[in-house]
Chains A and B, each alone.
Chain A
């Protein structure tokens, strides 16, 4: 396992915070979009895109790339922000989020470079990711049997991010069983366990606990981490790579709306509300203050 330096962890924490600011601006400009779910996933996405995933923004269809599937598709704005900041397309295009004409659809669409899977309807990432992981572990096919030499296994990995409310979708568990049966060691599912879904606490809407035991009993390797602790997230991703012949689940404890005091733990900020001018100013001030605490002024 890599030893992650303080510098790396701090750099990723700052990038996560800047992603939150991007998302705030996108949603306020569009007057539409989700905030709570993107904010709970900010450190996870920053850790993935600025360190863990092997990607080449200049070649979004590079066959050997790692695949990231945002199964909780409503977190689209932070996926768009991280793809732009990683160089898959220009940062200025973030201004088109949810505004015609745009490639930044309400929920992710594959026409946007870097998006691997359409998402929005919940539950798909694990099964689609398992299909990808099986294909990658088996090797890329040749179109014709005549075109020897035959395929060899890819090193590429598949990482899926899903929400805890999403665990209510049955196909998640169909896919989880398939992945365990096929011993897909190159598949990792991260549960952004923020405990809140659209109309209230997950524990009230449809209790999902014990989440870790569920994944374990489905044949997955399971780790539990603090999803806003960058070092823990990075360590867990590395450890997941060390698990062979079994898929890995990382249960990341997070806070819905993390980073803006009035959004935290409030299900209304799942997607039903857009900040008014005062709320926007307050959110921006809080996010900038946190960024300053991380030792950096916001960069334009």
Chain B
């Protein structure tokens, strides 16, 4: 039986922990702190919390000013707003200007399922990944949030961190030791590799179980850092297993799947089958229902694995 744990309080607590460890950490929110859970930081450190109101462009620009003056600002709001409304600020100051702002993308993917497509973020990886100088991090569970957040603070440049709104399967215990920029193999296998990020990693692990029952030996590679992509690990998986499946709660255009394809196509081309949203907006409904509806189920990963194996055999 899978244990679930809620991502938002895990993030809120990790941010408070960071604030306790470092007094140069400041948190900002565009009046959604009770959604993004920066309210926990606001309660612990009211003098280091800024509510900028409904002004996401100013959210990023103010954070840029803080970063240029020696603080480590964590700018919180919905992922889609950071990636779209505030994008020019992110590009100009965080990426070109080098302001090491930490952009915390709440409600990423379709995890804000009931608020509908206006509130989903299904293009944020593609957008952020395209920017020179940006780092894109996508934790898979609550432990991953706690382990990665201090590294995000230490990282010398800007970081975009993608955060799920909901309860997600607990995958890791305290021995989990991620490092930004390094992919992690969570299951060995030789027939193909399932490459997952965020919530979809748990589904890759489930799919690998299902495949094993059918005699297919699937490796599972976690890519918690989509940029800079651990190209060596991806290419090694391609060379050693001969086929890849990518799984992400994001459109298939420009996200993890695209990054993996780019990495393997140049030096070690193998079939890569992408599991993701098929270049369309989602709809409104319960999260689990929507994931299935949008083709992000475990069975979709299994089906993709067979397609990849078939292509590998040709």
Q: Is the CB of B57 within 8 A of A127?
A: yes
- Residue with the greatest number of chain B CB neighbours at <10 A, chosen from A120, A151, A175, A178: A178
- Chain A contacts for B58, CB-based, 8 A: 127, 130, 171, 174-175, 177-178
The verdict on A70 contacting chain B, using a C-beta distance below 8 Å, is no
- Chain B contacts for A124, CB-based, 8 A: 61, 64, 89, 92-93
The verdict on A4 contacting chain B, using a C-beta distance below 8 Å, is no
Given contacts A63-B70, A110-B97, contact A174 B88 (CB under 8 A): no
Given contacts A117-B68, A121-B88, contact A131 B97 (CB under 8 A): no
Q: How far is the CB of B157 from chain A (nearest CB, A)?
A: 13
Contact of A131 among B21, B47, B62, B98 (CB under 8 A): B62
Nearest B residue to A120 via CB reads: B92
The verdict on B24 contacting chain A, using a C-beta distance below 8 Å, is yes
Q: How far is the CB of B153 from chain A (nearest CB, A)?
A: 10
Q: Is the CB of B93 within 8 A of A178?
A: no
- Chain A contacts for B68, CB-based, 8 A: 116-117, 128, 131-132
Near B by CB (< 8 A), chain A positions 163-192 give: 170-171, 174-175, 177-178, 181-182
Measured CA separation A182–B65 after assembly (Å): 14
Measured CA separation A178–B64 after assembly (Å): 14
The verdict on A134 contacting chain B, using a C-beta distance below 8 Å, is yes
The verdict on A136 contacting chain B, using a C-beta distance below 8 Å, is yes
Measured CA separation A130–B55 after assembly (Å): 14
Near A by CB (< 8 A), chain B positions 37-69 give: 47, 50, 52-53, 55, 57-58, 61-69
Measured CA separation A182–B52 after assembly (Å): 10
The verdict on B22 contacting chain A, using a C-beta distance below 8 Å, is yes
Q: How far is the CB of B76 from chain A (nearest CB, A)?
A: 15
Q: How far is the CB of A182 from chain B (nearest CB, A)?
A: 8
Binds B, one of A12-20, A139-147, A270-278, A279-287: A139-147
Contact of B97 among A118, A130, A140 (CB under 8 A): A118
Measured CA separation A133–B64 after assembly (Å): 12
Contact of A145 among B20, B57, B71 (CB under 8 A): B20
The verdict on A135 contacting chain B, using a C-beta distance below 8 Å, is yes
Nearest B residue to A138 via CB reads: B47
Q: Is the CB of A141 within 8 A of B98?
A: no
The verdict on B96 contacting chain A, using a C-beta distance below 8 Å, is yes
The verdict on A261 contacting chain B, using a C-beta distance below 8 Å, is no
Q: Is the CB of A118 within 8 A of B93?
A: yes
The verdict on B292 contacting chain A, using a C-beta distance below 8 Å, is no
Measured CA separation A131–B97 after assembly (Å): 15
The verdict on A150 contacting chain B, using a C-beta distance below 8 Å, is yes
> How many residues of chain A are within 8 Å of chain B by beta carbon?
36
- Residue with the greatest number of chain A CB neighbours at <10 A, chosen from B61, B64, B72, B98: B61
Q: Is the CB of B66 within 8 A of A145?
A: no
> How many residues of chain B are within 8 Å of chain A by beta carbon?
32
The verdict on B23 contacting chain A, using a C-beta distance below 8 Å, is yes
Measured CA separation A38–B73 after assembly (Å): 33
Measured CA separation A84–B73 after assembly (Å): 32
Measured CA separation A145–B89 after assembly (Å): 30
- Chain A contacts for B93, CB-based, 8 A: 117-118, 124, 128
Q: Is the CB of A135 within 8 A of B70?
A: yes
Q: Is the CB of A128 within 8 A of B65?
A: yes
Q: Is the CB of B61 within 8 A of A134?
A: no
Contact of A134 among B55, B57, B66, B97 (CB under 8 A): B66
- Chain B contacts for A117, CB-based, 8 A: 64, 68, 93, 97
Nearest A residue to B69 via CB reads: A135
- Chain B contacts for A129, CB-based, 8 A: 65
Q: Is the CB of A150 within 8 A of B69?
A: no
Q: How far is the CB of B81 from chain A (nearest CB, A)?
A: 13
Measured CA separation A133–B71 after assembly (Å): 12
Contact of A130 among B47, B62, B89 (CB under 8 A): B62
Given contacts A118-B97, A135-B65, A142-B23, contact A178 B70 (CB under 8 A): no
Q: How far is the CB of B99 from chain A (nearest CB, A)?
A: 9
Nearest A residue to B20 via CB reads: A145
Measured CA separation A127–B23 after assembly (Å): 23
Near A by CB (< 8 A), chain B positions 1-48 give: 20-24, 47
Q: Is the CB of A150 within 8 A of B65?
A: no
CB-defined A-B contacts under 8 Å, sample of 6: A117-B97, A132-B68, A140-B69, A145-B21, A145-B23, A182-B50
By Cβ-Cβ distance, the 9 closest A-B pairs, closest first, are: A131-B65, A127-B61, A174-B58, A141-B24, A135-B69, A174-B55, A118-B97, A131-B62, A132-B65
In addition to A127-B65, A128-B62, A132-B68, 20 A-B residue pairs with Cβ atoms within 8 Å of each other are A109-B96, A116-B68, A117-B64, A117-B93, A117-B97, A121-B92, A124-B64, A128-B93, A131-B61, A131-B63, A131-B64, A131-B67, A132-B69, A134-B50, A136-B69, A170-B57, A171-B89, A174-B55, A174-B61, A181-B53
